[in-house]
Structure formats: C-alpha cells, structure tokens
Amino acid sequence: MSDPTSRRDLIIGEAPGTDEQVHAPVRELLARLHRQKPRVLGFPTDLANDFSEAGALLSMLTNNAGDPARSDAAGNDTKPMERAVIAWFTALAEGDPHRTYGYVTGSGSEGILFGLYTGRRRLPRAPLYTCAEAHYSIRKAACLLRMDLVEVACRADGSMDPDALHAACRARRRRDTLTGRRPRGAVIAATVGSTIRGAVDDLPALRAAAAPAGAVHLHNDAALGGLIAAFSPSRPAWNLDQGADSLSISGHKLLGCPVPCGIVLTPARLVAPAPVGAYLGTDDHTLGCSRSGLAAALLWMRLRRLGTSGVRDLVHHCQDTAAYAHTALTQAQAHPERLPDAITVTFDRPPQEISARWHLATQGGRAHLITMPHVTRHAVDALCADLTRTGRNR
C-alpha cells in the first residue's frame, strides 16, 4: 500500500545518521510547510499558531495511559492539565461537572468511535442512523462496531432530515412488531458542522423523530462546529444539555493544537465497563491504553492562553472572514453558499491548478474554503483574483 520513498536522503539505513543528515530534511520540511501555509484555504486546521514555546515538553515522553482521573503507576503524565481541559469543555458543553466522563483523544475520529461504541453498548441491537454528508469516519466506526448502518436523506442544507429519520425508524419498528421483536432503539450519528458545507443537524428534532425506535443514543460529531455553535449568535443546540448523549470536538481544528487530537464527553453513567490491565494502576475506559500526554499539555496551554473570551473572539474573527469571503466570491461570480454562522464557504469548483494552488477541498462540482484563523482577507482576495482571471480566460 505504501510506496518506498523516492527521496534518497530520507531512507533509513543501517548506519546511524549524522546531525546534518537528520536536521537538513527537517529544515526543508519546515520551510515547505511555512511557504504553503498562507495558501492552505480548504482544510479546517488552524495553522496560525507557533507552539515553539512548548519545545521543552519534548525533552521527555509524557503518556496519559488510562482515564484522566488518576495517574497510572508510571506517573509520567500530564493528566492534571488534561483534567483542566476536560473541565473547560464540560462547562462549555453544559455537562454536570461531577458526573461527566471525558478524555483527550488522538483525533476527531477516535471521539466518534468512542461515542458510537458507548451507544452500541447501551443499545446493542440498534441500527446506526446517519446521513450522506456526515464524515466518512462514521462509516468506518459502523464497520468496526458491526452496526447496521442506515443512511438517512439530507435536507437541502445538508443536515439530516428529521422526517426521513422518523420514516426509517418507523419502518424498522413496524418490521420488528410484525416479527414479535422488542424495539431496537436508535443510535444516531449527528453532525454539528459538516465537513463540506458546515451544516448543522437539529439535535432535538432528530431525537423526537427517532421516538418510534424506542431508546435513543445520539452522538454529536462537533469536530469543527461545536466551538462555533457555542459562540454563535444563533446558538444552535449542540451540547450535552441540548440533546447529545456523547459529543466529540477536535483539538487541532479551530484550536490549532500542533498534534492531531480531540476531546470526547459523555455522562459518566453511560460509559461502558472496560477491561483494565491490573499492572496499570488506574481505571481505563478509553479506547486505547497509552495516550499522548503532549497533546493534552498543548491543548491546555492553548486554552489557558486564550481563555474563554479568546476562543469566543477567535470564532467571531473566523465568521467575519467567512462573511468577507462570501462577498468576495460573489463578486468573482463563483456562486458561493454560506450557511448561517458557518466558517465554511462553498463555491463553484475551479480548474484543478487553482484548487491545487490554494489547497481547496473539492467534491463534485463544488469547492470550499474554511476561514480558519490563518486565512487572511488578503489570501481570499488573491484566490478571487485567480478565479476571475481563469473565468475571463475560459
């Protein structure tokens, strides 16, 4: 599946490498990353931050093995910081500060897997309902958890259609009634801030729509959209007090943590019992065993520096840039669409060379940009100038 490297200077051989052999490719890599940064418009990772001040954290391995609540026997963890991060997100998500379980995951997808695993353990016979615009990692999770995946139609804005969910749940309930089975329940993978358009599912409407199925577990994939929803003027329902039984948010998207990570939260009473190796000396309900202590410490540093007001300002800044991009793309006749409060703006798919130059995400006839904090109005103007130029030449 992987190509052997074509770069001779990257080949790991028998002999130890010299400092220069190790450092030169790293310097080159960093130079390339910094060169392309202003043109990375299509992906929801914040590249604006320089975490060099955290360099000393690399002087030693930190491993948050097991639950955040207690150090494991090895003790080289950053769990006090992880607990502070989880406490901040729990407050934001209106969870009970004493009865909410959460941890720093390795990615948004791990948070989804944990949430759906929690739902699967609660309702072992329930199908998993999701919609086409949901992230593909939900399909991976369904496969891993061996869940019956039901794809529900989307509304015009890309959110899951509650009427279609209701019809799907009712049809299954009818089938079960005819065959004398008990209701199966429903595990719903909802999304607040879909990958391509930033669509926001209506969590209370989805819960109500799934009533014919019986008991419901709703996981909210709020990878990018959770923080946006929390600070948006329209305040859509997204959190543990507004319809989510579990939710996951990314740490490297809006918050720009320099290693991929995320957080997952759920009421502690819903957490499935888990086998734990006695040698560890702590509980472990996480999906792995070892987890990145570095990610938790970096996330804590970022949040401590920003404070809640800083995160709010960041969201509003991104929304202002998105509004600007929508206007500029309209003037460039690219037919943009921006859903309420979204920082994602879709527009007509440009020629491949422009998509590649601006690192745009494309799907079908559309492309999108996401106004992450490193995306400037200047970059938006330059993209629009490129679009206008190619439009004129076509």
Ligand X SMILES: Cc1ncc(COP(=O)(O)O)c(C=O)c1O
Residues in contact with ligand X by the rule CB under 6 A = 44, 107-109, 135, 137, 191, 193-195, 221, 223-224, 250, 260, 262
**Beta carbon nearer to ligand X, 46 or 221:** 221
Least distance (Å) from ligand X to the CB of residue 342?
Answer: 12
Least distance (Å) from ligand X to the CB of residue 242?
Answer: 18
Least distance (Å) from ligand X to the CB of residue 158?
Answer: 11
Query: DSSP string covering 12-63, please?
Result: --SSPPPHHHHHHHHHHHHHHHHHHGGG--SS--------GGGGGGGGS--B
**Beta carbon nearer to ligand X, 62 or 250:** 250
Least distance (Å) from ligand X to the CB of residue 173?
Answer: 29
Distances (CA, A) of 91 to 85, 102, 194, 243: 10, 12, 23, 16
**Beta carbon nearer to ligand X, 250 or 282:** 250
**Beta carbon nearer to ligand X, 78 or 107:** 107
- Count of beta carbons in the 10 Å neighbourhood of residue 218: 23
Asked if residue 94 lies in contact with residue 240, where contact means CB atoms within 8 angstroms, the answer is yes
Q: Which residue is nearest to ligand X (CB)?
A: 108
Least distance (Å) from ligand X to the CB of residue 195?
Answer: 4
Task: State the Cα–Cα distance between residues 79 and 64, nearest whole angstrom.
Answer: 6
Query: DSSP string covering 244-302, please?
Result: -SEEEEESSSTT--SS--EEEEEEGGGPPP----GGG-S---SSSSS-BHHHHHHHHHH
Least distance (Å) from ligand X to the CB of residue 132?
Answer: 13
**Beta carbon nearer to ligand X, 141 or 240:** 141
**Beta carbon nearer to ligand X, 100 or 194:** 194
The amino acid at residue 350 is P
